Structure 1
Amino acid sequence: MPTIKTSKEQVLQSVIETIRQKGIANSSMSDLAKQCNIQKSHFYYYFENKEALIQEVLAMVNSYMTYNMNKVVDNPELDIGQKLSGIRLLIHKLFLDNDGGCVMANTALESAHSNPKYFEEIRSFFQNFITGLERLLQDSHSQEKSRYLAEQIVQDIEGGILLMRVYRNPKYLQNAITRMSNIILP
């Protein structure tokens, strides 16, 4: 029998993993409740419907990534190499330490034609990712070049995640991370 006492944050954490691995369409509220070890009706205590749940999942992922990216990039006690190491660790935690790749990219691909309402949060995630890298690059490049390189890095990482999933081989993302390192620390 499922337990009832679960915090909203615990529910969101469990749901993130399921959505990352199975996608939105393949994750029913019953599946999600089972994953969270709660009754399906308990979801409705926190969330009006599945769409509201997904919106909060995306907001939580965006908030986590943005907070941790800014914590590294804006730390004046870290040199560029230490900042790069922090970003590498964040990328590993977000994309390599969990099966399924990038929950934002997965959701964008899955909902592109049927439900673009999630795009605002997804765009915000990618914009924050790009902006963090751009700020890191501005010490050695013009603002325009920093923006270009930051966009290139994010595109490369997301492509690496996709190929990692298709081929079930982390080398594609690891190669993208190495290329990011070569751009940031030439």
Structure 2
Amino acid sequence: MPRIKTSKEEVLKKVIPILRERGVCKSSMSELAYACDIQKSHFYYYFNNKEQLIKEVLGTVNSYFNYNFFRVIENNTIDIREKIEKIDSLLTTMFKNSYSGCIMANTALETAHLTPIYEDEFKQFFENFISGLQILLEFNYSEKESLSFAEQIVQDLEGGILLMRIYKDHKYLNTAILRMKKVILKL
């Protein structure tokens, strides 16, 4: 019999990997509640519907990424090489622990043609990702070049994540991260 008491944060922590792996359309509220070891009715205590749950999941992922990403970028006590290594570590934590990929890109691809209700969350994630990289790139490039390279790096990383997921091989993301390092450091 499922447990009754759990926090909203615990529920989100358990739901995120499932949604990353299975996707929104293939994950029912019943299955998600079961995976969280709670009754479906208790699940609805936290989330009125699946759309609200997905918005909360995307918001949680956005917050986690932004906090950790910009904490590194804005840290004035470490040099650019250390920043890049810490960003590599963050990308590893977020994307390489399994072959499930990027929950933002996965959900965007899965739901974009169905409903635009998550569009703001996707845009926020990718715009912040690009702007953070642009800050690092401005050490060696003009503002215009930095923006162009930042967009290119995010596209490359997301492509690497997608290929990693398809082929179950981390080399694709590892190669994209290596290219990111070379561009940022102007090697």
- TM-score (normalised: structure 1): 0.98
Q: CA deviation at 1:184?
A: 1.2
Q: Structure 2: how far apart are the matches of 1:99 and 1:57?
A: 19
**1:4 Cα deviation after fit:** 1.1
SS in 2 for 1:37: coil
Give the drift of 1:54. Answer: 0.3
Quick one: distance in 2 between partners of 1:98 and 1:4? 29
Q: How does 1:25-44 map to 2 (within 5 A)?
A: 25-44=25-44
Count residues with an aligned counterpart.
186
1:161 deviation in Å? 0.6
Aligned-partner Cα distance in 2 for 1:99–1:59: 22
Q: What is the alpha-carbon distance in structure 1 between the residues aligned to residue 39 and residue 99 of structure 2?
A: 25
Residue ranges of structure 1 left out of the alignment (5+ in a row): none
Residue 48 in structure 1 maps to residue 48 in structure 2: yes
The one-letter amino acid of 1:26's match is K
Structure 1 residue 84, shift from structure 2 partner: 0.2
Q: Give yes or no for contact 1:20–1:99 (8 Å, CA) kept in 2.
A: no
Q: Partners of 2:147 and 2:36 in 1: how far apart?
A: 40
Equivalence map 1:51-66=2 (5 Å): 51-66=51-66
Runs of 4 or more above 3 Å deviation: none
Contact 1:69–1:87 (CA<8 Å) still a contact in 2?
yes
* Structure 2 counterparts to residues 1-186 of structure 1, below 5 A: 1-185=1-185, 186=187
Deviations 1:59-108 (A, max 9, x none): 00011101111000000001000000110011001100134100000000
Superposed CA RMSD in Å reads 0.8
Query: Residue 81 of structure 2 aligns to which amino acid in structure 1?
Result: G
Quote the Cα distance in structure 2 between the aligned partners of 1:24 and 1:116: 14
Normalising by structure 2, we get a TM-score of 0.97
